[in-house]
Amino acid sequence: MFKKLRNRFLIVNLVSISIMMLVAFATIYTITYQNVQRETNMELYKVSDFYHGPYNSSKMPRNEDGFSGVSGSGTSGTSGASGASGIGSPPVGGLGENGGAMGEDPNSPPARSVSFMIQTDRDWKITNTHSRFDMDATFYEEALGKIDQDKLSGGNRQTGQFALDSTEWAYVVDSSSNGYMIVFIDVTAQQSILTNLIYTFAVVGLVMLIVIYFLSRYFANRSIRPVREAFEKQKQFIADASHELKTPLAIINTNADVLLANSEDTIEHQSKWLHYIKSETERMSKLTSSLLYLTEIDDSRSTMIHAKFNMSEAVETIILTMEAMIFEKNISLDYSIEPELMVHGNNEQIKQVILILLDNAVKYAKSKGAVNVTLKKQNNEVVLAVSNTGEGIAPEHLERIFDRFYRMDASRARQHGGHGLGLAIARSIVDQHKGQIYARSVVGEGATFYVRLT
């Protein structure tokens, strides 16, 4: 059951985080894409404005192929379509063939862009070209063939992108009365940014999901552990309570059968069975009262009224009420109580704790043993210690003796009339007062219970 609960928690957690990551990555990618497109269009329009402005195509010389082949002062030896595909942005202010500054040519487009221009007539036949690099006619024809000519109508300006020889190009087409002017710029770097962004998102997202899975699994196990422990304790509590009630009910039922079998006999002769029934009824009554008291303590933690009271007087009162019983059992009592020690809490509940600890010390003290009670102040705390001489408590039982219905020796506890609820009640009260209760013991010598309050 708890494994299924953990797996459902993991699935819900991973799906929720995956959706949030996808939304975040999509948002970042969309914003980056829009910024890249905006910058690309701005650069494209700047280059286009250059070709429409200071550049005069009529003054450009024609090359041997019949096209205007003005090349800027780029690095020599880069020619043909293959040379265009490997173009990189030449540095601003680089040196040309004669050692002159590249950025000084008024007939060249902005130096930071790798660009070229094609002019065509209305039938899309090339009439003029311009480039800062040596390119052959085949490259211009291939670039012109990538344009969707059917979408251009009237005086509309058309933009687009295409890949040619492993290079990404963006273009803008401007129509005129004589034909068309198409300006191209290299946007490989911008497209690489977007591609790398997708790869980065994929890798980071996968790594984060793996990390989140193991973190979620760890915290899911930690979150479910208290629920599992509470569930197991609840099951154990029901089993123990059922067992505690089953025994007296069986005794009552048996004694009732004996009475019914001898219905003609007098009550005086049957009084023994009636006493058994009454004894077990009282035992059940104590058990239910203890369970109800525990429930009331848990429910009233936020409403219980606390005030300053004299802890020294409370301990002395409980000792006086039990002095006769201790004397009857031939157990010596020794106590040391510092006077006027004040504690913030509920007087009656703290008396209940003192009574439980002292009653247990007397019950489990060995014959002609001793019980010792001390109350003193340590730093800012008031410390109550109740010890006895007896068999002691084994280390494996020290942590569990405060659990409900837990008893080290069930048969012996039954002889003393216990249900294993006293120490559970004491711990609930001390926890409500934000104090500490714990036990220390040496097997064969005795045990000491401590209560620390402020």
Contact criterion met (CB below 8 Å) for 128 and 67: yes
What is the number of residues in the chain?
A: 454
Strand 342-345 and strand 332-337: the pairing is unpaired
Instruction: Dig out the tokens for 64 from the structure.
Output: 């041997």
Contact criterion met (CB below 8 Å) for 120 and 174: no
pLDDT surpassing 90 at residue 77:
no
Q: In this predicted structure, what is the pLDDT of residue 131?
A: 83
% of residues, the chain, pLDDT over 70: 81
Mean pLDDT (whole number) for 273-301: 79
Amino acid at the residue 384: L
Q: In this predicted structure, what is the pLDDT of residue 269?
A: 82
Mean pLDDT (whole number) for 189-207: 91
pLDDT surpassing 80 at residue 147:
yes
What are the pLDDT digits (tens) for 212-228?
888 888 888 888 888 88
Q: Which residue has the higher pLDDT, 232 or 155?
A: 232
Amino acid at the residue 402: F
Q: How confident is the model at residue 290 (pLDDT cuts 50, 70, 90)?
A: confident
Closest CA to 183 of 229, 144, 232, 235: 144
pLDDT surpassing 80 at residue 257:
yes
Which range has highest mean pLDDT (60-64, 71-75, 290-294, 446-450)? 446-450
Mean pLDDT (whole number) for 239-261: 83
Q: In this predicted structure, what is the pLDDT of residue 175?
A: 83
Contact criterion met (CB below 8 Å) for 453 and 389: no
Mean pLDDT (whole number) for 346-356: 92
Could you give the dihedral angle defined by the CA atoms of residues 227, 231, 233 and 238, in that order, rounded to the nearest 10 degrees?
Answer: 160
Q: In this predicted structure, what is the pLDDT of residue 319?
A: 94
Q: In this predicted structure, what is the pLDDT of residue 154?
A: 54
Q: In this predicted structure, what is the pLDDT of residue 419?
A: 67
Which range has highest mean pLDDT (196-210, 225-239, 273-287)? 196-210
Q: In this predicted structure, what is the pLDDT of residue 409?
A: 62
Q: In whole angstroms, how far apart are CA 353 and each of 208, 312, 437?
A: 52, 14, 10
Q: Is residue 448 within a helix (H) or strand (E), and if so which, with residue range? A: strand 446-453
Contact criterion met (CB below 8 Å) for 382 and 343: yes
Q: Which residue has the higher pLDDT, 124 or 92?
A: 124
Q: Which residue has the higher pLDDT, 316 or 296?
A: 316
pLDDT surpassing 60 at residue 112:
no
Q: Which residue has the higher pLDDT, 15 or 241?
A: 15
Mean pLDDT (whole number) for 140-164: 78
Backbone φ/ψ region at 446: left (φ over 0), alpha (ψ -120 to 50), beta? left
Q: How confident is the model at residue 449 (pLDDT cuts 50, 70, 90)?
A: very high
pLDDT surpassing 70 at residue 109:
no
What are the pLDDT digits (tens) for 81-93?
333 333 333 333 3
Q: How confident is the model at residue 60 (pLDDT cuts 50, 70, 90)?
A: very low
Contact criterion met (CB below 8 Å) for 152 and 175: yes
Round the average pLDDT of the chain to a whole number and report it: 80
pLDDT surpassing 80 at residue 179:
yes
pLDDT surpassing 70 at residue 284:
yes
Q: In this predicted structure, what is the pLDDT of residue 304?
A: 66
Q: How confident is the model at residue 76 (pLDDT cuts 50, 70, 90)?
A: very low
pLDDT surpassing 60 at residue 95:
no
For 72-81, 156-165, 328-337, 381-390, which range has the lowest pLDDT when averaged over its residues?
72-81
Q: In this predicted structure, what is the pLDDT of residue 98?
A: 35
110 DSSP assignment:
-
